Amino acid sequence: MRMLEGLLPELSPEDVADAARPHLTLDKYSVESFDSGKMIPEEKLTCDLSALMTTLKV
């Protein structure tokens, strides 16, 4: 969110969060640990910046 706040300094942090929420995707997956070989859960949060900027007409 801090990165988005940097792209949209004219908006308050709450407004950035509200605007970005529909364009955020949380991907959950597992990766294998290099040392133990066990599967470790990972999460990746992505934002469709093109859609967000179009929505905000920036």
User: Maximum distance among all alpha carbons in the chain?
Assistant: 48
Structure-token pair, residue 2: 């801090």
Q: Are 8 and 44 within 8 A, CB to CB?
A: no
pLDDT of 58 higher than 80: no
* Token pair 């991907």 in the structure block, residue: 27
Of 47, 58, 54, 50, give the one whose Cα is nearest residue 20.
Answer: 47
Q: In the predicted model, what is the mean pLDDT of the chain?
A: 94
Tens of pLDDT, residue by residue over 33-54, are 999 999 999 999 999 999 999 9
Q: What is the pTM of this model?
A: 0.71
Any alpha helices (H) in 1-58, and if so which ranges? 2-7, 13-20, 49-56
For a pLDDT cut of 70, what percent of the chain falls above it?
98
For range 19-42, the mean pLDDT: 96
